[in-house]
């Protein structure tokens, strides 16, 4: 890898400085190193989110009911492109709360501001 960095540093500095007006060797090296790191990054938790339509059948709930649970704050979810996305783990947590009897019943309490 050091040879690759050496070759990047050996780029004609004057030509780059004259073209852009700044010494861009630093930016080239950082860009190459960052692009190499992207391949080594583990998938983020955001990758586990799936649309509610994909989670409905395995969970045994309808898409509409899952959407209602999300809007009531009972299931963790994010909105992407106008559609709710959640994780199988969030639905499993909700099912466990229902089974244990710890899930809140009825409407959430309204708070006045």
Q: Facing residues of 91 across strands?
A: none
How much is the pTM?
0.54
CATH of the domain at 58: 1.10.1660
- Inter-residue contact 49 to 78 (CB < 8 Å): yes
Helix then strand then coil, in percent of the chain rounded to 5, is 55, 10, 35
Tell me what the pLDDT averaged over the chain comes to: 75
Quickly state the pLDDT bin for 90 (edges 50, 70, 90). Answer: very high
Show the domain range for 63: 45-100
Which of 111, 109, 108, 110 has the alpha carbon at shortest distance from 74? 108
Q: Greater confidence, 42 or 27?
A: 27
Pair (28, 51) in one structural domain: no
Pair (26, 51) in one structural domain: no
Sign of the torsion formed by the C-alpha atoms of 64, 67, 71 and 73 = positive
């Amino acid at each position: 890898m050091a040879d690759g960095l050496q070759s990047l540093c050996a780029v004609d500095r004057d030509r780059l400085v004259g073209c852009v007006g700044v010494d861009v060797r630093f930016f080239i090296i950082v860009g190459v190193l960052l692009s190499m790191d992207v391949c080594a990054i583990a998938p983020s938790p955001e990758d586990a989110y799936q649309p509610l339509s994909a989670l409905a059948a395995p969970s045994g709930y309808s898409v509409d009911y899952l959407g209602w649970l999300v809007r009531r704050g009972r299931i963790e979810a994010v909105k992407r492109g106008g559609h709710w996305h959640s994780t199988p783990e969030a639905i499993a947590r909700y099912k466990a709360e229902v089974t244990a009897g710890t899930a809140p019943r009825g409407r959430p309490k309204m708070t006045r501001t």
